[in-house]
Amino acid sequence: MPRRRDQPDADSVPATLGEFAGSYWWAPWCETCRKGRKIVDFAPYIEAYGPDLPMERFVARLRCKACGARCPTGVKGPRKTTG
């Protein structure tokens, strides 16, 4: 079965919220109202859902703060290291 455009390759995204939080930021956007945001601090989500929540399930839970629609579409980026 072909992979949908909004589904990342299994090797491209860490499997769990805890693994993802240490290395990346996530910027979901709403395809309904076209609003977006950047999630850098995952601590509240890890506290609520636990570090072992699969990223796939975390992304599926996200809702747009403006209109309430589900926001399964987004992009990731590497967390910048200081030094």
In a domain, 11, yes or no: no
Q: Which domain holds residue 66?
A: 17-78
In a domain, 28, yes or no: yes
pLDDT band at 83 (very low <50, low <70, confident <90, very high): low
DSSP letters, 9-58, are PTTTS-SBHHHHHHHEEEEEE-TTT--B--B---HHHHHHH-TTSBHHHH
Q: Is the full-model pTM beyond 0.85?
A: no
pLDDT for the residue numbered 69: 92
In a domain, 65, yes or no: yes
In a domain, 36, yes or no: yes
Number of domains comprising the chain:
1
In a domain, 68, yes or no: yes
In a domain, 10, yes or no: no
In a domain, 3, yes or no: no
